[in-house]
Amino acid sequence: MHFLTYSLLRLAVLVAVFLLSMWLGVGLILSGIAAVAISFAVSYLFFPRLHAAAGDEFRGWISRTPRPRNRVALEDQEAEDAYVDRRLREEGRES
């Protein structure tokens, strides 16, 4: 939900700056460049907690590893994880 909120906020700032600069007669291309730059800066500087929450949420969507569907693959994965954890403890590099 944070990602959607942050994206809509950035889009609203972008549209507002674009329309304002077009109304002032700056020109299409310069208005677009200014709108992108200002919307990025405003959302990044004035909403840092929302920016961080949106980034964490997006990272969670991307970094999901698919879980195996069958029982044998699940058991193999659990055995491998237990082995790696045991080796890390023996070497003193606990995760």
Q: What angle do CA 62, 64, 70 make, to 5 degrees?
A: 145
Cβ contacts of residue 42 below 8 Å, gap of 6+?
13
Local confidence band at 67 (pLDDT 50, 70, 90 cut-offs): low
Please tell me which residue, 28 or 67, carries the higher pLDDT value: 28
Return mean pLDDT, the chain: 89
- Cβ pair 17, 34 in contact under 8 A: yes
> Which one-letter amino acid corresponds to residue 4?
L
For range 11-30, the mean pLDDT: 96
